[in-house]
Chain A
Amino acid sequence: DAGITQSPRYKITETGRQVTLMCHQTWSHSYMFWYRQDLGHGLRLIYYSAAADITDKGEVPDGYVVSRSKTENFPLTLESATRSQTSVYFCAAAGANTEAFFGQGTRLTVV
């Protein structure tokens, strides 16, 4: 099906481990985003990409790394997970003439 797919949907990891959240879109939209959602904060932008090989920091980028070697993929890596990174992570994609479409989210717990 066309759309945006995030994997895994649920992840439990230990403090200090590296973990990668995957995001794949089937439309070839130029713009992709990573947000985290925490109670009381809404959605906060972690990283943003305007095209392949072009990325930019958002509001809360510390502790995260992104790459975009292909237009359709935008993985988010937590280099050394901390408990404060326990959250629900949403990936989104938008075209030049379209709204932002969100994935189903990845629920990450760092213990």
Chain B
Amino acid sequence: QKEVEQDPGPLSVPEGAIVSLNCTYSNSAFQYFMWYRQYSRKGPELLMYTYSSGNKEDGRFTAQVDKSSKYISLFIRDSQPSDSATYLCATQKGEYGNKLVFGAGTILRVKS
């Protein structure tokens, strides 16, 4: 069983839709949770970074962690065609510098 499970999609939505991306993880030692965005033929870039359970908002993006159910979510409001990318959830046991464990990535396409 993978430590981090993520539905690879692809997910196709119309412009302006609310997008929900989800991951589950199996190891309760994970404390830090991230979402990376990866455009085609580019390296991943950090989008959101959260510690432990709770919500974190940044503009149109909200990251949510529920440690009791080992569930990670990313919500995108008012989705734009420029949001079309692969979204990767990731976790790590300690703070910066520790090994990141990634989900498979979800391919998102926002249609104009």
CB-based A-B contact count at 8 angstroms? 59
Counting contact residues on chain B (CB < 8 A from A), the size range is: 20 to 34
Chain A 56-87, CB-CB to B under 8 Å as 1, else 0, gives 00100000000000000000000000000000
Chain A 19-55, CB-CB to B under 8 Å as 1, else 0, gives 0000000000011010100011111110010100000
Given A40-B104, A42-B6, decide whether A95 and B42 contact each other with a Cβ distance below 8 A: no
Report if B17 contacts A (CB, 8 A): no
Q: Find chain B residues with CB under 8 A from A35 CB.
A: 102
Report if B45 contacts A (CB, 8 A): yes
Considering the complex, give the chain A residue whose CB is closest to the CB of B6: A42
Interface residues of B in 27-50 (CB under 8 A from A): 34, 41-46, 49
Report if A110 contacts B (CB, 8 A): no
Contact at A50–B88, with CB atoms within 8 Å? Answer: no
Interface residues of B in 76-112 (CB under 8 A from A): 88, 90, 96-97, 99-105
A102 vs chain B, min Cβ distance (A): 3
Considering the complex, give the chain B residue whose CB is closest to the CB of A97: B96
Contact at A44–B104, with CB atoms within 8 Å? Answer: no
B66 vs chain A, min Cβ distance (A): 21
Contact at B43–A105, with CB atoms within 8 Å? Answer: yes
Contact at B43–A99, with CB atoms within 8 Å? Answer: no
Contact at A96–B97, with CB atoms within 8 Å? Answer: yes
Question: Can you spell out 19 A-B residue pairs with CB atoms less than 8 angstroms apart?
Answer: A30-B97, A31-B97, A41-B104, A42-B88, A42-B104, A42-B105, A43-B44, A43-B105, A45-B101, A94-B96, A96-B97, A97-B96, A99-B34, A99-B96, A100-B46, A102-B43, A102-B44, A103-B43, A105-B42
